[in-house]
Chains A and B, each alone.
Chain A
């Protein structure tokens, strides 16, 4: 029998888990290494691969273009330890026998990873300043692109966190999360769409196409139809967090 509690929900446990997890990133040099790798890759790809200076355009599309590909590898790396490490060390038994609903712990952990991703994005902001010095870009589009990038990072993280809850191996969590994320990124590509079209009705084809991180993110960076794409990422995050709670329940009964 479930009773509905009409008091406002006390989010203190979420906040406590968030604080602990966020601090855990900085307990080892891993955080610093990660941030350096992310910044070096983002800058390197933007300047050398997409010819930031040669294009003669004051915008950051050459920078945001790489985000889905960078996140594909880097977000699973941030999220892989969230649950797998708890399982490996056994601390999950302490965590999951505290008088706190599982969803608050799931939410707190994901928020910590998402905040870390925000930090990584904030550290790229010199490139935004640079483009403003060199010309007069559409700062509104850049701002929404940053928001869109952060939301996409959140979706990658939620997906990887849910997968991390199923294993005690961080390596396995990383590989599985990257593989699943790759499908989401590639969903919009003709290669994938053609393969689906050969057997599925148009509704399914459209559905698969709309699941593409690449397509959704492009719409945000182009400054068109942002809202549906934002809703897409937010609902995918919510769905993956729900899957994460489910994964923990399934493991309990296993």
Chain B
């Protein structure tokens, strides 16, 4: 049984369909990254799975318990970091985490043991007795993570766990997620693509409430996509080169990327990988256009993401 399951979730706010038929399952030891532009429906989907919002239709399960009809059982097994890592500003870090632990039914002793461990792991010792309103964004985020981990749940749903952290803190947060991942099923949302490559075993791309892809980062990178060739020619007047290249079959677009000191760099889009770099070099050579440099741009997850999400726009 999957630890997290979403079955055809739909959520409408008036005439707006924020989530439009999202289905997926997450097993133990998986870290699933929710990727999507702002307003894609990532947070709404997470709110539904955590049981904070009711879906218009569809169902969500945490360890087999329905988030809507068996909320108490489902929530016992869930650690949830809401969007923006909210926390009671007027409480100290220790009071706040103590409150959350007690609400999860931990005894005083259990709570103290668990919090001592978390303070160490999440590095909260310096701010332990400070009021939350006085904390930096990074510490607030860490308090939010601690709050989600207090009862050692099997399922973690983290809405932008690294938002607002500096690069070192981001690195630490990813290390933390990686270190707890083998025992848990984790869903994180992010719009940082390197994060997906760094911590996720799977990525789900969402735009306009729809799931556009559900694959490992490696599979996403291996998707057929538009090749981009960067061609540098030793002339300030690329008109002839552009004319020749753009008439080649297979080329969808040619444009000037930069022009410096009598050298022009062109970018060539070739959807089917034709012409290849070698063929293009030959064609230009025959027309006496000197190619000083040529390379194939490797697709980044960012390119894949842009292609997938832009495709949904049309």
List chain A positions with a Cβ less than 8 A from chain B: 12-13, 16-17, 20, 24, 27-28, 89-91, 93-94, 96-101, 252-254
Contacts and interface: CB of A to CB of B under 8 A. Distances in A.
Given A252-B52, A252-B53, A90 B83 contact: yes
Contact of A254 (B13, B73, B102): B13
B52 A100 contact: no
Interface string B175-209: 00000000000000000000000000000000000
B47 interface: yes
A20 B104 contact: no
Nearest to B148: A94
B90 A94 contact: no
Given A20-B91, A101-B72, A94 B54 contact: no
B89 interface: yes
Contact of A90 (B54, B86, B90, B102): B86
Range of interface residues on B (Cβ < 8 Å): 20 to 34
Contacts of A96: 51-52
Which residue of A24, A90, A93, A94 has the most chain B CB atoms within 10 A of its CB atom?
Answer: A94
A94 B147 CA distance: 9
Nearest to A13: B103
A91 B86 CA distance: 5
Contacts of A89: 86, 88-89
B82 A93 contact: yes
Question: Lowest 7 CB-CB distances: which A-B pairs, in order?
Answer: A90-B86, A27-B90, A93-B82, A99-B75, A99-B76, A253-B54, A91-B86
A17 B88 CA distance: 12
27 contacts: A12-B105, A16-B99, A20-B88, A20-B91, A24-B88, A27-B90, A89-B86, A90-B82, A90-B83, A90-B84, A93-B50, A94-B86, A94-B100, A94-B147, A97-B80, A97-B82, A98-B75, A98-B100, A98-B103, A99-B71, A99-B73, A99-B75, A99-B103, A100-B72, A100-B103, A252-B54, A253-B54
A99 B74 CA distance: 8
Nearest to B77: A99
Nearest to A90: B86
Nearest to B69: A1
Given A94-B80, A99-B72, A99-B104, A28 B87 contact: no
Contacts of A13: 103
Interface string B26-61: 000000000000000000000100111110000000
Contact of A97 (B13, B50, B102): B50
Contacts of B99: 16, 20
A220 B77 CA distance: 50
B230 interface: no
